[in-house]
Amino acid sequence: MDPTTQFPDLIQEIPHGDMPGDQVRIGEEHIQKARTIYPRLREQMADMPGRRKVVAVCGGSGVGKSEIASVLAYYLNQGGIGAYVMSGDNYPRRIPRDNDLERLRVYRQGGLHGLVDHDLVTEEVSAGLRRLWEEEQDAEPTAAQGCPWLGVYQQAGRRALTGYLGTPNEINFDEVSDILARFHQGETAVYLRRMGRELTELWYEKTDFSRTDVLILEWTHGNSDFLEGVDLPVLLNSTPAETLAHRRARNRDGKTDSAFTAMVLDIEQKKLEAQAHKAKIILSKQGNILTFEEYRRLMADA
C-alpha cells in the first residue's frame, strides 16, 4: 500500500524533529510537497548501497524543513522503513540569543576594521556610527546613500559576517558528522544533543537507532561542504523574498524586517545556491521537482 495515500486526520500527532520547543505545524502544502518528494526519495535510496541512509532536508529559513521532514519520516515508517528526524539546529556553538549577538558583533567588528583599513575613522564618523548602532540602522543600505564611509563599513561587515555564518565558527559540524558516521557504522544507540534558548537548557539524550534505517537531518546547513555523511541532500528552494515572507508569516523573531536580518538571509541564500549542485532532489516553492539547470534559471530570474 502506498503510504502517501494513508494520512491520519490528526496530522499534528505525527512525530516531529528533536529540537526542543520547535513549533511544527503541518499543513496541506507540506503534505503535498512530501508526496512529491517521497517516490523520488525511495527510488534514489534503492540505488544506494548499504541498509542505513542519511537524508538531509535543507533550505532557507521558514521554507518548511521541519514539517516536510516529519511527513517524509511518517511515510517511510508507514512503508516499513524505520526513520528518525534529527534537527541540526541543536548544534550551534551558542544558544540562539547569544548567536544573534555574536552575528551582530562579527558584522560590526568587521565594519570597524574596514573603516580602519581605509583610514576613515574620525570623531564625526565614530559619533555617526554610534547613533546608527543605537537606532539599529547600521546595516540599512539606504543609509549609505551619499555616505561613502558607511558603504565601506557595510561592505566590510558583510564580508566578516559571510565568514562566520554557516561555518565551523558558528556551528559544530564535527559533532554532527560524527553522529552521522556512528549511524552509518550501525550503532544502535547514539547520544544526541538537545538545546533550548537558555544557558541552562543543554543536555544529551541517548537515542535508540536499532530500528532506524533512515536518519533524516532537517537543517539549513544539511548540504554544507563542512558536513560529512549525508547520502541524499533534498533542497527545498525559496527565493530571498519568499524566505522573508515565510519569516513574517511565522513571526519567527522580533526583528524580521530589519536590514540586518535581510542581510543574514541573503548571505544564507547565496551559500545555499553555491551548494545546490550537490542536491539529489530540488523542490521549488510551488512544489515542483527541478533539475539543477531549471533551478539556476529560476534563481537567476529571482
**What is the reported pLDDT for 21?**
58
**What's the average model confidence in pLDDT over 73-78?**
94
**What is the reported pLDDT for 6?**
60
- Domain spans of the chain? 96-162, 172-204+225-232
Model confidence pLDDT, tens digit, residues 187-232: 999 999 999 889 999 999 999 999 999 999 999 999 999 999 999 9
**What is the reported pLDDT for 18?**
65
pLDDT-derived band at 25 (thresholds 50, 70, 90) equals: confident
Do β-strands 189-195 and 202-208 pair in parallel, antiparallel, or remain unpaired?
A: antiparallel
The yes-or-no verdict on residue 302 having pLDDT over 80 is no
Grid coordinates in use for 22? 520547535
For residues 33 and 31, give the distance between their C-alpha atoms in angstroms, rounded to a whole number.
5
Give the rounded percent of residues in the chain with a pLDDT score beyond 90. 80
**What's the average model confidence in pLDDT over 95-123?**
97
Mean of the per-residue pLDDT values for the chain?
A: 91
pLDDT-derived band at 136 (thresholds 50, 70, 90) equals: very high
Phi then psi dihedrals of residue 3, to 5 deg: -65, -20
Model confidence pLDDT, tens digit, residues 52-70: 999 999 999 889 999 999 9
pTM, whole model, 2 decimals? 0.91
pLDDT-derived band at 7 (thresholds 50, 70, 90) equals: low
pLDDT-derived band at 40 (thresholds 50, 70, 90) equals: very high
The yes-or-no verdict on residue 10 having pLDDT over 50 is no
Give the rounded percent of residues in the chain with a pLDDT score beyond 70. 87
**What is the reported pLDDT for 273?**
96
**What is the reported pLDDT for 61?**
86
Model confidence pLDDT, tens digit, residues 242-257: 776 766 665 555 556 7
- 133 Cβ contact list (under 8 Å, min separation 6): 108
Secondary structure in 3-state letters for the chain: CCHHHCCCCCHHHCCCCCCCCCCCCCCHHHHHHHHHHHHHHHHHHHCCCCCCEEEEEEECCCCCHHHHHHHHHHHHHHCCCCEEEEEHHHCECCCHHHHHHHHHHHHHHHHHHHHHHCCCCCHHHHHHHHHHHHHCCCCCHHHHCCCHHHHHHHHHHHHHHHCCCCCCCCECHHHHHHHHHHHHCCCCEEEEEEECCCCCCEEEEEEECCCCCEEEEECCCCCCCCCCCCCEEEEECCCHHHHHHHHHHHCCCCCCCCHHHHHHHHHHHHHHHHHHHHCCEEECCCCCEECHHHHHHHHHHC
